[in-house]
Amino acid sequence: MRHNARTIVAVTAALGLTAGLSGCGGDADAESGTVSLTVVATNYGDSVHKNSEGYWDRVVLAFRAEHPGIDVDVQVHDPDEVDKKVAELVERGEAPDIVQTDGYSEYAARDLLYSADEVLSVPVQASFVRSLANAGELDRAQYGMPFTASTRLLYYNKDLFARAGLKPPTTWDELTADARVLKAQGVKYPIAVPLGPEEAEAETLMWLLAGDGGYTDSTNRYDIASAANVATLTWLKEDLIGEGLTGPVPPGDLNRADAVEAFLTGEAAMVNAPLSLIRQIDDSSDSVPYGAVPLPSRDGDETPTMGTADWVVAFRNDDHRTAIGQFLDFLYTDKYVTEQAAEYELLPVTTSAADAMRADKAHKPLWNGLDTLQNLRLYPVAETNWSEVAAEIRRRIGKAVTPDGNPREVLESIAKTAR
């Protein structure tokens, strides 16, 4: 959803003469009998796919028809502007009523947010996919309300696999064997492993989860230098990378965008990527024939799938609490949850919308992703220092799998940031 992952992504903005934490709209609302809500949202569009403003315009227009006494002003901003602009508004005491972003823990820790049960109806809160709702909790209270989700899968080139007489791997031994065959047939990147600084925290988490590890333990506390994580990176270094099965560019120097491009041009037979790769393939002139499966685990056992999410948060403003709840309940109806997911190749965040999309052949490209929803493992966004830890992963993790690298030492150095 950064997406990252990360994922795996975020919002901003605020609005003209907006209100602060103590009340956006104030006397004007009281005199007119109208409540004015401010919403800051992120743009998921690009040069090919429509700007998110159209989505929010449709939501607001339909909401106003049912709630004529509530005005909603939405401003959409690019993802790289979001955090800074929201922080500026909060610092000035002019926090928007609702913000859609890639995190929530900082403002929740400062007691600036409503918890989900303070603004949502019981049916709406109960409708969230459980893995996503759990990831939105801080100290056992849900502050992050999932807005979008995505997962990462192993994409493989069907033509290259067919020529080699291969099937998608289900274990690490099979993955290694397939990569050897592909290398022998002259494939440049049998499997691209982007551990470069662009988004290494996503690729890393995929492999750690497949090796029965992760960034956190069963209690959701950081456990970065665990024995399982050391074993996974050691296997990557010695078996996959050490045999030259990951292509000519060292993984620590290979960014996700370059790995995806290699897949789109047929130079890479396998790559881990978000669901948005489907959109890139559809838009690409090369039209790569692809399949997608969960990244194999060490022994073929089921392990959590790496996921990302973006969040909706509601800032405290007692004058607007009821109106905030009404708007959010409307936003999370199946119609708009499905529309947002389908437009941008994302996953729905409610079980009812997920079930409907899984039953609809029009959404077949997303079915593999939909099947992972209940078993997603997200970044530890409830940790207020996650951004610093992620930066350290991006900076250091590639060194762990170099010929002279030491996976344990690298993981232990990253773990120091997490303390």
User: Helices (DSSP H) in 67-185: which residue ranges?
Assistant: 82-91, 105-109, 116-119, 122-127, 130-135, 158-163, 172-184
| Contact predicate 100/147, CB 8 Å | yes
Q: Which two tokens stand for residue 281?
A: 């393939």
Q: How confident is the prediction for the chain on average, in pLDDT? A: 90
How far is the C-alpha of 25 from the C-alpha of 324, rounded, in Å?
13
Q: pTM value?
A: 0.85
Average pLDDT over residues 286-298: 92
- Give the pLDDT confidence of 206-218 residue by residue, as tens digits: 999 999 999 999 8
- Which of 19-33, 62-76, 86-100, 374-388 is the least confident region? 19-33
> Could you tell me if 163 and 387 are in contact, meaning their C-beta atoms sit under 8 angstroms apart?
no
Residue showing tokens 């999370």: 332
Look at residue 117 and tell me whether its pLDDT is greater than 80. Answer: yes
Is the pLDDT reported for residue 30 higher than 90?
no
What's the confidence (pLDDT) of residue 306?
95
Question: Which of the residue ranges 78-92, 281-295, 384-398 has the most confident prediction, judged by mean pLDDT?
Answer: 384-398
- What CATH number belongs to 151-306+381-418? 3.40.190.10
pLDDT bucket at 4, cuts 50 / 70 / 90:
very low
User: Where does 35-150+307-378 sit in CATH, by number?
Assistant: 3.40.190.10
Q: How far apart are CA 95 and CA 23, in angstroms?
A: 9
pLDDT > 70? residue 398: yes
CA atoms 331, 363, 309, 255: torsion sign: negative
pLDDT (average), residues 219-234: 96
Ranges 33-37, 256-260, 315-319, 398-402: which has the least confidence: 33-37
149 within 8 A of 347, measured Cβ to Cβ: yes
151-306+381-418 shares the fold of 35-150+307-378? yes
* Token representation of residue 24: 């956006």
- Mean predicted confidence (pLDDT) in 25-52: 71
pLDDT at 284: 80
Name residue 236's amino acid: L
The CA radius of gyration of the chain, in Å to the nearest whole number, is: 22
Instruction: State residue 239's pLDDT score.
Output: 96
Does the structure show a pLDDT above 90 at 405? yes
Instruction: Give the model's confidence band at 33: pLDDT under 50 very low, under 70 low, under 90 confident, else very high.
Output: low
DSSP 312-326: EEEB--TTTHHHHHH
- Distance in angstroms between the alpha carbons of the first and the last residue of the chain: 25
255-to-28, 71, 192, 337 alpha-carbon distances in Å: 51, 43, 10, 31
Residue 390 pLDDT greater than 70, yes or no? yes
pLDDT given for residue 5 in this prediction: 30
Average pLDDT over residues 166-172: 98
The answer to whether 143 and 108 have CB atoms below 8 angstroms apart is yes
Helix 321-331 crosses helix 53-66 at what angle (to 10 degrees)?
120
Residue-level pLDDT at 49: 58
For residue 205 the two structure tokens come to: 């988490």
Average confidence (pLDDT) over 158-164: 98
pLDDT of residue 1: 35
Q: Enter the DSSP assignment of 189.
A: B
CA 83 to chain centre: 16
**Measuring CA to CA, how many Å separate 352 from each of 253, 308, 355, 386, 415?**
42, 20, 5, 31, 39
The percent of residues above 90 in pLDDT, for the chain, comes to 81
- In the chain, the percentage of residues whose pLDDT exceeds 70 is 91
- DSSP annotation of 206 reads H
**pLDDT tops 70 at residue 20:** no
Report whether pLDDT(29) > 70. Answer: no
- Domain ranges across the chain: 35-150+307-378, 151-306+381-418
13-17, 100-104, 232-236, 259-263 — which is least confidently predicted? Answer: 13-17
Position 10 scores a pLDDT of 32
Per residue in 316-355, pLDDT tens? 999 999 999 999 999 999 999 999 999 888 999 999 999 9
